[in-house]
Amino acid sequence: MSELGRRTRVRVAVDALGGDHPPGEIVAGALDAATELIQPVLFGPAELDTGGLEHVVTTEVVGMEDKPADVVRAKPDSSLVRAVRAVGDRSVDAVVSAGNTGAMLAASLVHIRRLPGVHRPGIAVVIPAHEGPTVLIDSGANADARPEHLLQFAHMGVLFASEILGVASPVVRLLSIGEEPEKGNQLTLEAFALLAASGLEFAGNTEGRRLLEGGGDVVVCDGFTGNVALKTLEGTIRSVLGALRTEISSTRSGRLGGLLIRPAGARLRHRLDPETTGGGYLLGLRGIVVIAHGSSSRRAIANAIRMAATGVEHSIVDALAERVPSRTTAA
Amino acid sequence: MSELGRRTRVRVAVDALGGDHPPGEIVAGALDAATELIQPVLFGPAELDTGGLEHVVTTEVVGMEDKPADVVRAKPDSSLVRAVRAVGDRSVDAVVSAGNTGAMLAASLVHIRRLPGVHRPGIAVVIPAHEGPTVLIDSGANADARPEHLLQFAHMGVLFASEILGVASPVVRLLSIGEEPEKGNQLTLEAFALLAASGLEFAGNTEGRRLLEGGGDVVVCDGFTGNVALKTLEGTIRSVLGALRTEISSTRSGRLGGLLIRPAGARLRHRLDPETTGGGYLLGLRGIVVIAHGSSSRRAIANAIRMAATGVEHSIVDALAERVPSRTTAA
């Protein structure tokens, strides 16, 4: 894939049927993201109106209820599987889907395949922390993980932070239940030892309370914990802002104050909105896969497509291929 | 312990040296909580000024760095161990500490002991969700847990919700990474099957994004996941409100608006403040143990003491003894 980083135009396969709002928000987002340098390719049914974007016709649909393990064989002509396959056969440079995460992982493992030496791909998401962006990895690909997987997630997260976010020497922390080294479960205690011996800039454990403040450039965890933490973070942001709006509008002076702080509220919502990033990279594969939120709006989809293009421009697959396996032991 | 529920005066042992602000905030909170019906008993060094409250003199201190497993033998005359022991020998009705959670658990297992049939005590914390209070259990006692432990946590949480919060038929949900039954890790998938067959009002999985909205009357998880989720929730609330304050004060009209919404902000902060509850019950023991936040202020300590007294008044130990073991299998 080394030539991809030097191509002037990036082709991004977009699953038009993924997520909660297909195909309207997906097509609209793809149109918004399309530029001289970014060329979205929509995968979806014949009747899809792509607004002039390139269209690959597919006949099947993957739903949230489909079993990930069955999707590749059972629905080979689905928009999701075909879009992933297009990365595998290099007819596109990257893929974006807001569909079934498990199905995306399964299809990617079959049609894009892991980089040599990588045990498990992990989902890396950027948290807009107060002290600067934090890469949370794994935020949902592996519900059960082993300590050596967490070590590889750390390496992949560091590469993301340095290559994409431009952090000079990314600091890694392990998400646990106390800052002391002896706090944690069996998984994190073993992962702590591996990280401490890894040569990475490992700064020990961090806690969920630090996630939105800034708990390190890279925060590592298994996919179950990461997914619970990420969803708790996103849901809590939404709930707090919603509850404040309710409290404010319960009095006349509150409503006036609410008008005056509206710009401040909008700035904060914009910074904290997951749609500002658009999605997470599924790292550790021989191609670039961006998984967008199921609830993605047009704006989130456009940002996810831009994120995919950024990954191509920065050649993160090549960088991962060079750096991750050489530093970790096989398992 | 059956006579405790009928006593008119409740004696609560308070570890004067627990938490980040000993002994000042602890003693002040104990004095605030003291009433005709609630009698705090302070455990701490001879020089402690208890402001007239009963004082049991102890000579050792448990720190956050002490290994929980060693504390009972190594520091038998610590304020923490002595306060727990006082519940075991029935010289008090309950104990409150803001100290080392692991040490509280270890001391409680030795000196208060588990109820017959209970595998593992679990920490039950009340989340002030929008739709009503939610009991999160286990929020930190067991970093590694088995499916049958989660089933018992569910029973204990239901009892808490019905006896203390007055919920008629508490609904139980399992904290996982998707609402579909097949979403989760190995632990939650097995726990799901046990909960579905339990006879409890089990409504399936819930996600972190629902925690502050209201994801069920009782939300069950292992202590690692629960602790990460709870700390993420608390930290995110604090970060969002802090970031909003910063945004508001960056403009003149924002500052004026900020003054006008101050009462609304104060109402919200009061509702969401963990100090309003004060702590969590360590359930499954032959006595009442309340674990307060390490950062507890005077107000949090007072509320934790009131929470302990409420547990005594409602005879939750007796209720647990009657109901939990009979419904679950031994393991």
Q: Which of B144, B177, B257 sits opposite A224 (nearest CB)?
A: B177
Q: pLDDT tens across A174-199, in order?
A: 999 999 999 999 999 999 999 999 99
CATH at A87: 3.40.718.10
Cα B186 to chain center, whole Å? 26
- In this prediction, residue B325 carries a pLDDT of 61
Q: Which of B177, B224, B236 sits opposite A212 (nearest CB)?
A: B236
Q: Are residues A228 and A211 in the same domain?
A: yes
Please give the model's pTM, rounded to 2 decimal places.
Answer: 0.93
Is a pLDDT exceeding 80 seen at residue A139?
Answer: yes
Q: Are residues B99 and B130 in the same domain?
A: no
Domain count within chain A = 2
SS3 readout for B25-90: HHHHHHHHHCCCCEEEEEEECCCCCCCCCEEEECCECCCCCCCHHHHHHHCCCEHHHHHHHHHHCC
Tell if the CB–CB gap between A257 and B253 is shorter than 8 Å: no
Interval B51-55 mean pLDDT: 96
- In this prediction, residue B3 carries a pLDDT of 47
Residue B8: which pLDDT band, with cuts at 50, 70 and 90? confident
- In this prediction, residue A300 carries a pLDDT of 94
- Bridge partners (DSSP) listed for residue B175: B206
Is a pLDDT exceeding 90 seen at residue B316?
Answer: yes
CA-nearest residue of chain A to B67? A182
Q: Which of A237, A238, A260 sits opposite B254 (nearest CB)?
A: A260
Q: Which of A212, A224, A231 sits opposite B235 (nearest CB)?
A: A212
B319 found inside a domain: no
Residue B324: which pLDDT band, with cuts at 50, 70 and 90? confident
Which of A102-106, A129-133, B269-273 bottoms out in mean pLDDT, i.e. has the lowest? B269-273
- In this prediction, residue B71 carries a pLDDT of 94
Q: What mean pLDDT is reported for chain B?
A: 92
Residue in A171, A184, A180 with CA at minimum distance from that of residue A131:
A171
A244 found inside a domain: yes
* B70: containing domain: 1-118+284-314+327-331
* Residues of chain B with C-beta less than 8 angstroms from the C-beta of A186: 143-144
Q: Is the CB of A67 inside 8 Å of chain B's CB atoms? A: yes
Tell if the CB–CB gap between B257 and A264 is shorter than 8 Å: yes
> With a CB-CB cutoff of 8 Å, which residues 225-244 of chain B face chain A?
225, 227-244
Interval A82-94 mean pLDDT: 97
Is a pLDDT exceeding 60 seen at residue A150?
Answer: yes
Residue in A254, A321, A309 with CA at minimum distance from that of residue A285:
A321
Tell if the CB–CB gap between B235 and A208 is shorter than 8 Å: yes
Q: Are residues B176 and B302 in the same domain?
A: no
- In this prediction, residue B164 carries a pLDDT of 93
B156 found inside a domain: yes
Q: Are residues B144 and B240 in the same domain?
A: yes
CA-nearest residue of chain B to A181? B65
Interval B86-112 mean pLDDT: 96
Burial (CB count within 10 angstroms: exposed 0-12, middle 13-18, buried 19+), residue B6: exposed
SS3 readout for B209-257: HHCCCCCCCEEECCHHHHHHHHHHHHHHHHHHHHHHHHHHCCCHHHHHH
> With a CB-CB cutoff of 8 Å, which residues 28-57 of chain A face chain B?
none
Q: How far apart are CA A162 and CA A160, in angstroms?
A: 6
B155 found inside a domain: yes
Residue A56, H or E segment: strand A54-57
Closest-CA distance of chain B to residue A263, Å = 8
* Residues of chain B with C-beta less than 8 angstroms from the C-beta of A139: none
Residue A78: which pLDDT band, with cuts at 50, 70 and 90? very high
Closest-CA distance of chain A to residue B11, Å = 31
Asked if residue A106 lies in contact with residue A26, where contact means CB atoms within 8 angstroms, the answer is no
Residue in A155, A163, A95, A165 with CA at minimum distance from that of residue A126:
A165
CA distances from B122 to A186, A275, B221 (A): 18, 37, 10
Backbone angles phi, psi at A11, to 5 degrees: -100, 125
A326 found inside a domain: no
Handedness of CA B212, B268, A129, A147 (dihedral sign): negative
- In this prediction, residue B274 carries a pLDDT of 82
Interval B105-113 mean pLDDT: 97
Burial (CB count within 10 angstroms: exposed 0-12, middle 13-18, buried 19+), residue A3: exposed
pLDDT winner (highest mean) among A269-278, B60-69, B96-105: B96-105
Tell if the CB–CB gap between A236 and B182 is shorter than 8 Å: no
A325 found inside a domain: no
- In this prediction, residue A159 carries a pLDDT of 95
- In this prediction, residue A60 carries a pLDDT of 96
Is a pLDDT exceeding 80 seen at residue B250?
Answer: yes
Residue A42: which pLDDT band, with cuts at 50, 70 and 90? very high
Is a pLDDT exceeding 70 seen at residue A137?
Answer: yes
Which of A46-55, B270-279, B311-320 bottoms out in mean pLDDT, i.e. has the lowest? B270-279
Interval A270-278 mean pLDDT: 84
* Residues of chain B with C-beta less than 8 angstroms from the C-beta of A267: 247
DSSP string covering A230-285 = HHHHHHHHHHHHHHHHHHHTTSHHHHHHHHHTHHHHHHHHHHH-GGGT-EEEEESB
Q: Are residues B49 and B151 in the same domain?
A: no
Q: Are residues A160 and A83 in the same domain?
A: no
- In this prediction, residue A5 carries a pLDDT of 45
Which of A49-63, A265-279, B126-140 bottoms out in mean pLDDT, i.e. has the lowest? A265-279
Is a pLDDT exceeding 90 seen at residue B65?
Answer: no
Residue in A109, A102, A38 with CA at minimum distance from that of residue A66:
A102
Closest-CA distance of chain B to residue A147, Å = 15
Is a pLDDT exceeding 70 seen at residue A56?
Answer: yes
* Residues of chain A with C-beta less than 8 angstroms from the C-beta of B227: 177, 208
Q: Is the CB of B64 inside 8 Å of chain A's CB atoms? A: yes
Q: pLDDT tens across A210-239, in order?
A: 999 997 899 999 999 999 999 999 999 999
Q: Are residues A156 and A63 in the same domain?
A: no
Q: Are residues A129 and A260 in the same domain?
A: yes
Is a pLDDT exceeding 70 seen at residue B327?
Answer: no
Closest-CA distance of chain B to residue A116, Å = 26
Is a pLDDT exceeding 60 seen at residue A327?
Answer: no
Q: How far apart are CA B267 and CA B13, in angstroms?
A: 31
A62 found inside a domain: yes
Is a pLDDT exceeding 50 seen at residue A99?
Answer: yes
- In this prediction, residue B326 carries a pLDDT of 53
Q: Is the CB of A196 inside 8 Å of chain B's CB atoms? A: no
Tell if the CB–CB gap between A228 and B175 is shorter than 8 Å: yes
Q: Are residues B103 and B132 in the same domain?
A: no
Q: Are residues B212 and B297 in the same domain?
A: no
- In this prediction, residue B146 carries a pLDDT of 97
Tell if the CB–CB gap between A260 and B263 is shorter than 8 Å: no
Q: What mean pLDDT is reported for chain A?
A: 92
- In this prediction, residue A46 carries a pLDDT of 96
A321 found inside a domain: no
Q: pLDDT tens across B149-165, in order?
A: 999 999 999 999 999 99
Closest-CA distance of chain A to residue B65, Å = 8
Q: Are residues B182 and B217 in the same domain?
A: yes
Q: Are residues A186 and A95 in the same domain?
A: no
